[in-house]
Amino acid sequence: MRILLVLCSIAVGFLLFEFGLRVIEPASDAQILNDVMTPSGPYLSLIPASSGVMLGRKVTVNALGYRGVPRPEQKPVGVRRLEFFGDSHTFSMGADDDATYPNVVEKVLNAGTQRYEALNFGVPGQDLRQLLTHARNHAFRFDPDVIVLTFHQGDILESPDGPPAPSAGPGDARIGTLYRVKRDLVKYSFVARLVVPYGAEFAQRLFGWSPGVTVAEENEIRNAGPRWRKLQQDVLAFKRDADARNVKTVLVLFPSMQPFDRHPAAAEYRELKAWFDAHGIPALNLLPSFMGRDASALAASILDKHPNEQAYQIAGQAVAGFLGELLAPDGGASATTH
């Protein structure tokens, strides 16, 4: 009987905690995503002229299908146009319309004499394959000078359509099972959304064990797994198309808001930066820009590790400095040292 009472108390406590988290978590009601089918594969896109609330912040998609002020396809004379493609970190989930990281880049660069426009084509949920498809379909019609591909951990193996693909490293079955369990837990339980990230951090600190898609992705890169080899070809093909139009291609590596001094994606980002730099695509790793800061103070909410407005400000300033150096008359040579 006593055991039953204890179990009932635990269950009631769990339900009350779950209810409390659902009350305090910022509201999200935006219906802005749409599946698009193309000859090169499906990808997530934004619904033109849609709006809503994500993590308590207003988000608006313009009539042309991207976040921010709509711009004419032909850029004005004397303006340098920057286009940003990526997932929710490019879209800037966790910030309102005026505080997205592409907006910050535009504001910082426009403090100088040269005029810039930043177009935010980020779509929550896109992986690297979808990002490249989206960029091929939309980037060049808006007459860009620079295309910024923003990568976030998971964008090689993690897909909104299912679990990560198998990697070439050991323990793939275990990692895939853990990923599926975590995905289902955080989908249905707010308590799990709170506990899982801290549980993973605890396991890393206590046992040196980092379960999850980031480990599988790091193995995929280091072992030249099939998904990464195909994406390498796609990236280089996109770069050739951009080069033919005299458009620069740039990579930005954007970390999740987890403890930066022991960030799970640190090794993966070093590997990716080295590969992109070696293949003529200047790459900026944003992780050093966040070092020494409190990750929890930069998260969009207690349950969500997306950046908040302060974090996007940090990222935008770093990217603006990188692009400003890259686009200077003698830029490019030193830009890859970041």
**Nearest CA to 210 among 242, 254, 256, 148?**
256
Task: Establish if 173 belongs to a structural domain.
Answer: yes
Residue 192 belongs to some domain of the structure = yes
- The pTM (predicted TM-score) of the whole model is 0.83
CB distance 44 to 35 below 8 Å: yes
> What confidence score (pLDDT) does residue 206 get?
55
Determine the Cα–Cα distance for residues 229 and 251; give it in Å rounded to an integer.
Answer: 17
Report the CATH number that the domain containing residue 320 is assigned in CATH: 3.40.50.1110
Number of domains in the chain: 1
Domain annotation covers residue 72:
yes
pLDDT band at 17 (very low <50, low <70, confident <90, very high): very low
Structural domain boundaries enclosing 324: 28-337
Judge whether 116 lies within some domain.
yes
Residue 8 or residue 37, greater confidence: 37
How far apart, in whole angstroms, are the C-alpha atoms of residue 31 and residue 47?
8
- Let me know if residue 88 belongs to a domain: yes
Q: What is the band of 103 on the pLDDT scale with cuts at 50, 70, 90? A: very high
Residue 121 lies in a domain: yes
List pLDDT tens digits, range 304-334.
Answer: 889 999 999 999 999 999 999 999 876 544 4
Nearest residue to 158 via CA among 50, 48, 265, 292: 265
pLDDT in tens, 157-187: 875 444 444 444 444 444 455 555 555 555 5
The answer to which of 147-151, 208-212, 312-316 has the lowest mean pLDDT is: 208-212
Q: Is the dihedral of CA 27, 202, 6, 183 positive or negative?
A: positive
What's the CA gap between 323 and 282, in Å, rounded? 10
